[in-house]
């Protein structure tokens, strides 16, 4: 195939990978139209709608590298239901001396009674461990438009006549947020957004003008290899992504009992007195309880059937599961399966294990709730 480029952003056109830059359906190439847009620019042009495309680490680092040379305000979007999955390690060096503003998105997924300050403190603590010292924090629900106005005000407070770059890993809701911001601006004026090239990459980026000289600039989402999102098809991804406030499910387990979370993770209560386990997963995730001794067989028999997702195809892509053992600490803790959910345990010194894909992070943190 000859090399075709999108006339909107200049990216190379391809027809294979929907979630990668430059995707265009084959059918639209067959129209023999000279004006070929990638799907992202097409949607932007026709619907004022931004779609995120995942970018490899290298291209993302190139972009950030350029940004670090500029004096700018960096707005980093984090998914509150997957805090660690949405922290981009290595971002610090590239942000340079620029100010960092953290947006905790999907506030609606966390139980309403939790105080916002508590959530912000929890974010502060977690980010500190990664060496991040943000200038401010804002909580939003991008898909409900909640907190967007406050975010824009906070951006204005910290912008100090500079460009604003919005960064985040895929699936944190960055495009939903950008769309909410665009909506807020386009209420006043149509055709507000533009795309332009970014130095050193082929991908066009989206600019929302703030003044004649400064913009809010949407950078492409970075694919985080530690997220389930990287290995699952859209259907499964939709299944595990929480849509509404997460309703915790409580299990009282005796030792040597097991819980399956669909087929994507397995929790073993190996040793300790009868204890309570509070599970925070997307409401549609099915939890199956069984005896530890029967768990291996159950998995073998039901993977891709009762235990779906993953499909057998996705299971192969996930590259096998790893079993990790933990002993609970003296304080109330969350056992987190990054990008999927967490289990709150208020019982010290019990032995537990998690089986999860080997690339997915599993760890214990002080309980959020």
Q: Which is nearer to ligand GDP, 176 or 236 (CB)?
A: 176
Tokens of 69: 């040379």
Q: Is 212 exposed, middle or buried (0-12, 13-18, 19+ CB in 10 A)?
A: exposed
Residue nearest ligand GDP by beta-carbon distance: 173
Residue 168 contacts ligand GDP per CB under 6 A: yes
Tokens of 160: 């100090």
Residue 175 contacts ligand GDP per CB under 6 A: yes
Q: Which is nearer to ligand GDP, 170 or 275 (CB)?
A: 170
With CB under 6 A as the contact rule, the residue among 109, 123, 155, 208 that binds ligand GDP is: 109
Q: Measured between alpha carbons, how far is 278 from 44 in angstroms, rounded to an integer?
A: 42
Residue 170 contacts ligand GDP per CB under 6 A: yes
Residue 172 contacts ligand GDP per CB under 6 A: yes
Q: Could you say which residues in the range 48-107 bind ligand GDP, by CB under 6 A? A: 52, 105-106
Q: Which is nearer to ligand GDP, 216 or 345 (CB)?
A: 216
CB of 141 to ligand GDP, least distance (A): 4
Q: What are phi and psi of 298, to 5 degrees?
A: -60, -45
Q: Measured between alpha carbons, how far is 41 from 47 in angstroms, rounded to an integer?
A: 10
Q: Measured between alpha carbons, how far is 259 from 122 in angstroms, rounded to an integer?
A: 27
Residue 266 contacts ligand GDP per CB under 6 A: no
CB of 260 to ligand GDP, least distance (A): 24
Find where tokens 């042009």 sit.
45
Q: Which is nearer to ligand GDP, 223 or 335 (CB)?
A: 223
Q: Measured between alpha carbons, how far is 37 from 8 in angstroms, rounded to an integer?
A: 6
Residue 236 contacts ligand GDP per CB under 6 A: no
With CB under 6 A as the contact rule, the residue among 59, 82, 99, 108 that binds ligand GDP is: 108
Helix, strand, or coil (residue 133): coil
CB atoms within 10 A of CB 232: 22
In the chain, what is the straight-line distance between the N-terminal and C-terminal CA atoms, in Å? 54
CB of 235 to ligand GDP, least distance (A): 12
CB of 147 to ligand GDP, least distance (A): 9
Q: Measured between alpha carbons, how far is 28 from 315 in angstroms, rounded to an integer?
A: 33
Residue 176 contacts ligand GDP per CB under 6 A: yes
Report the phi/psi class of residue 148: left, alpha or beta, with left for phi > 0 and alpha for psi in -120 to 50: alpha
With CB under 6 A as the contact rule, the residue among 142, 151, 155, 210 that binds ligand GDP is: 142
Chain residues in the site for ligand GDP (CB under 6 A): 52, 105-106, 108-109, 141-143, 168, 170-176, 221, 241, 243
């Amino acid at each position: 195939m000859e090399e075709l480029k999108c006339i909107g952003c200049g990216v190379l056109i391809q027809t294979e990978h929907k979630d990668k830059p430059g995707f265009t359906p084959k059918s639209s190439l067959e129209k023999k139209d000279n004006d070929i847009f990638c799907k992202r620019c097409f949607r932007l042009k026709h619907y004022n709608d931004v779609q995120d495309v995942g970018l490899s680490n290298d291209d993302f680092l190139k972009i950030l590298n350029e940004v670090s040379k500029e004096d700018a305000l960096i707005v980093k979007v984090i998914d509150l239901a997957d805090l660690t999955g949405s922290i981009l390690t290595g971002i610090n060096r590239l942000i340079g001396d620029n100010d960092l503003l953290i947006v905790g998105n999907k506030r609606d997924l966390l139980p309403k009674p939790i105080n916002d300050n508590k959530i912000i403190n929890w974010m502060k603590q977690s980010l500190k461990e990664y060496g991040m010292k943000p200038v401010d924090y804002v909580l939003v629900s991008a898909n409900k438009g909640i907190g967007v106005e406050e975010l824009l005000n906070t951006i204005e407070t910290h912008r100090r006549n500079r460009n604003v770059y919005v960064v985040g890993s895929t699936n944190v809701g960055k495009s939903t947020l950008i769309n909410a911001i665009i909506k807020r601006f386009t209420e006043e004026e149509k055709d507000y957004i533009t795309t332009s090239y970014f130095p050193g990459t082929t991908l066009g980026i989206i600019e929302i003008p703030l003044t004649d000289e400064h913009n809010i600039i949407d950078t492409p989402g970075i694919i985080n290899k530690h997220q389930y999102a990287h290995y699952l098809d859209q259907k499964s991804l939709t299944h595990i992504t929480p849509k509404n406030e997460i309703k915790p499910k409580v299990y009282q387990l005796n030792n040597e009992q097991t819980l399956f979370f669909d087929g994507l993770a397995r929790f073993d209560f190996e040793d300790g007195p009868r204890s309570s386990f509070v599970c925070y997963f997307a409401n549609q995730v099915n939890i199956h309880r069984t005896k530890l001794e029967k768990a291996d067989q159950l998995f073998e028999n039901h993977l891709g059937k009762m235990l779906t997702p993953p499909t057998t195809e996705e299971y192969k892509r996930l590259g096998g599961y790893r079993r990790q053992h933990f002993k609970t600490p003296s304080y109330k803790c969350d056992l987190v399966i990054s990008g999927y959910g967490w289990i709150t345990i208020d019982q010290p010194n019990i032995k537990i294990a998690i089986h999860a894909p080997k690339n997915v992070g599993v760890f214990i943190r002080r309980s959020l709730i």
